[in-house]
Amino acid sequence: MNPTNHQLRLAARPSGLPEPSDWELTSEPVPQPHANQILVEVSHVSIDPAMRGWMNDLPSYIAPVQLGDVMRAGAIGRVIASEHPGFAVGEHVFGLFGVQEFAISDGSGVTKVDPSIAPLPTYLGALGWTGLTAYFGLLEVARLGAGETVVVSGAAGAVGSVAGQIAKIKGCHAIGIAGGAAKCRWIVEELGFDAAVDYKAENVRAALRERAPDRVDVFFDNVGGDVLDAVLTRLARGARIVICGGISQYNARQARGPANYLALIAARASMTGMLVFDYADRYAEATAELAGWLREGRLVSREYVVEGGVSAFPEALLKLFTGENIGKLVLTVP
Ligand SMILES: NC(=O)c1ccc[n+]([C@@H]2O[C@H](COP(=O)([O-])OP(=O)(O)OC[C@H]3O[C@@H](n4cnc5c(N)ncnc54)[C@H](OP(=O)(O)O)[C@@H]3O)[C@@H](O)[C@H]2O)c1
């Protein structure tokens, strides 16, 4: 067994985009589990836009990562030592193991994953928080109805790509907003979206007038900013906007709110923030349904896997903000 645990710690709080000096690589001996603990050898780390928020010293739905702490991250790994009755050596698990090669856990929040059902990275994609966010955001928060027009931003990303596919599975008209021709082609040709809008090359408002002539019933928003403002001008009566995220604002010193929010009045529309963690008691049921769609070939999970171990994390995180990833961004460890 590797006697050393390489870890990535938060060294400074970024202002704007995270910089190399915001991180510190450390190493320490691999710890051994005590009673009711497991030792996990991490293989895949989930890289999420939310991490940028966790680096700020601001109150939110979860405590900030403290300076000097191992960076918080969802990850997949294998149990290599167990003093816990619920976990056996050799089992694959998902948990908040952090950006490090080995993690000790008491099992809280740890779920088992089955590599015979899907490849391990997929448990960070469609069968992980990503898929669950899309699932509950559309089906519970938006209460999607068949035949509705659904617009998804960040549509070629992890959550957005699953959201648009769920909209299609539920008999909706799905339009994705994404940056660049390659992403727009992928969501239409491979994922089955009805149409795409390239927000980097097109006027989103004009494109939606053309591609969603009956206006927008549900907007699943991952990006905020100008894209949100543009969609606000195209709402159908009774529209529901799901605020899943606002990545365009995550590195801003002062987040900018929507200028066109008064459109909610005429449309009798609602805008609701959501957090996937609120649905934790229903993850198993939702994962089973998502796994069924994957098995039937109705849902595609794509992961953008970066190699290089924990030292590659700082650069890999930036890919979310440059839009380099298609699908779920995953880092392999070591
Ligand atoms: N509420 C929840 O419980 C929950 C859970 C998970 C994720 N989320 C949120 O869901 C959103 C998507 O997360 P994800 O993991 O699926 O990430 P992702 O979409 O796979 O990756 C981020 C994507 O955002 C786009 N982007 C980056 N900067 C942008 C900008 N300035 N304007 C517009 N688009 C920009 C890029 O795509 P383009 O090339 O298309 O620009 C990039 O590929 C994030 O906002 C995240 O915080 C929320």
Q: CA 277, 48, 151 angle in degrees (round to 5)?
A: 75
With a Cβ cut-off of 6 Å, ligand 1 is lined by 48-50, 129-130, 133, 154, 156-160, 178-180, 183, 222-223, 225, 227, 244-248, 274-276, 320-321, 323, 325, 329
CA distances for 177 relative to 105, 144, 187, 223, 261, angstroms: 39, 19, 9, 10, 19
Which among 271, 233, 220, 228 is positioned nearest to 249, based on CA atoms? 228
How far is 323 from 309, CA to CA, in rounded Å? 21
**Considering only CA atoms, which residue is closest to atom 22 of ligand 1?**
320
pLDDT of residue 94: 98
pLDDT of residue 3: 82
Q: Exposed, middle or buried: residue 8 (CB in 10 Å: 0-12, 13-18, 19+)?
A: buried
pLDDT of residue 2: 52
Which among 250, 224, 258 is positioned nearest to 320, based on CA atoms? 250
Q: Mean pLDDT in runs of 10 for the chain (334 residues)?
A: 87 97 98 97 98 95 97 98 98 98 97 96 97 98 97 98 98 98 98 98 98 98 98 98 98 94 98 97 97 97 98 98 98 96
How far is 71 from 101, CA to CA, in rounded Å? 12
How far is 181 from 167, CA to CA, in rounded Å? 22
**Considering only CA atoms, which residue is closest to atom 14 of ligand 1?**
158
- Does residue 192 come out as left (phi exceeding 0), alpha (psi in the -120 to 50 range) or beta? left
CB neighbour list of residue 149: distance below 8 Å, 6 or more residues apart: 172, 173, 175, 212, 214, 215, 216, 217, 218, 236
How far is 21 from 51, CA to CA, in rounded Å? 16
pLDDT of residue 59: 86
The CATH 3.90.180.10 portion of the chain extends over 4-125+301-332
Between the CA of 39 and the centroid of ligand 1 the distance, in Å, is 32
- Does residue 262 come out as left (phi exceeding 0), alpha (psi in the -120 to 50 range) or beta? alpha
pTM of the model: 0.97
**Considering only CA atoms, which residue is closest to atom 18 of ligand 1?**
157
The CATH 3.40.50.720 portion of the chain extends over 129-277
Q: Which of 223, 271, 305 to mutate to test the pocket of ligand 1 (most atoms within 8 A of CB)?
A: 223
Q: CA 264, 244, 249 angle in degrees (round to 5)?
A: 85
Phi, psi dihedrals of residue 205, rounded to the nearest 5°: -60, -45
Between the CA of 171 and the centroid of ligand 1 the distance, in Å, is 24
Sign of CA dihedral 116, 119, 121, 122: negative
Is residue 30 within 8 Å of residue 68, measured between CB atoms?
Answer: no
The answer as to CATH 3.40.309.10 being correct for domain 129-277 is no
Which among 313, 252, 327 is positioned nearest to 24, based on CA atoms? 313
Q: Which CATH number fits domain 4-125+301-332: 3.90.180.10, 3.40.50.1820, 3.40.50.620, 3.30.420.40?
A: 3.90.180.10
Could you give the 3-state DSSP secondary structure of residue 182?
helix
Sequence letter at residue 173: H
Between the CA of 205 and the centroid of ligand 1 the distance, in Å, is 20
Could you give the 3-state DSSP secondary structure of residue 152?
strand
CA distances for 299 relative to 48, 133, 171, 192, 221, angstroms: 21, 15, 14, 10, 20
